[in-house]
């Protein structure tokens, strides 16, 4: 079965559906301490199951996390996309950058492109971002995107404390710049 995720291009990246060859970069991230805000660290076998779950999310919902690649080099820089597993409040806009790609504005570039896709192409309303309370970088990014703290008391279905940030609606979206 082939995954049919739309390809979304930004100035510096190509966002595409996940492929089997993406697993090495995904596993390296999920095995590292850097993944502690996104469910890790985890061993390679557990990372494989998580990766397969993300692909299955596309099949079940018709949306999921895109693989973000550098337009010039083809390097995998991370993931960004939509997430709504069992027990989630509503559709989430999420992101993760792999080692060596932070601090370049890539996460906001991907998030803006995907939020635009959600609002303009899919007709969705305002999205949320679910962020671990100690994840200062993601909190800053959500706020740069114009999202505001809506809840500081939510617990994920797996029992982890989380903050809920609400993104602005489609009309306010044009006011946010990278």
pTM of the model: 0.92
Alpha carbons 7 and 30: distance in angstroms, whole number: 24
pLDDT, tens digit, 9 for 90 and up, residues 68-117: 999 999 999 999 999 999 999 999 999 999 999 999 999 999 999 999 99
pLDDT, tens digit, 9 for 90 and up, residues 74-84: 999 999 999 99
Alpha carbons 116 and 168: distance in angstroms, whole number: 11
The helix or strand, by DSSP H or E, that contains position 148, with its residue range, turns out to be: strand 148-155
Matching residue, tokens 């989430």 = 92
The strand order across the sheet containing 65-70 reads: 8-9, 13-16, 65-70, 76-83, 92-97, 128-131, 161-166, 148-155
């Amino acid at each position: 079965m082939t995954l049919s995720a739309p390809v979304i291009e930004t100035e510096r990246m190509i966002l595409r559906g996940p492929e089997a060859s993406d697993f090495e970069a995904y596993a390296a991230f999920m095995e590292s301490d850097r993944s502690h805000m996104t469910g890790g660290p985890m061993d390679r076998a557990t990372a494989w199951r998580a990766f397969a779950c993300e692909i299955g999310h596309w099949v079940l919902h018709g949306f999921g996390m895109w693989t973000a690649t550098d337009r010039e080099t083809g390097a995998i820089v991370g993931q960004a996309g939509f997430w709504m597993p069992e027990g989630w409040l509503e559709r989430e806009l999420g992101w993760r950058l792999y080692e060596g790609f932070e601090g370049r504005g890539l996460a906001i570039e991907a998030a803006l492109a995907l939020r635009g896709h959600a609002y303009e192409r899919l007709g969705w309303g305002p999205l949320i971002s679910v962020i671990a309370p100690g994840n200062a970088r993601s909190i800053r990014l959500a706020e740069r995107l114009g999202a505001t703290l809506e809840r500081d008391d939510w617990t994920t279905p797996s029992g982890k404390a989380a903050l809920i940030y609400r993104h602005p609606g489609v009309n306010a979206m044009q006011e946010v710049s990278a």
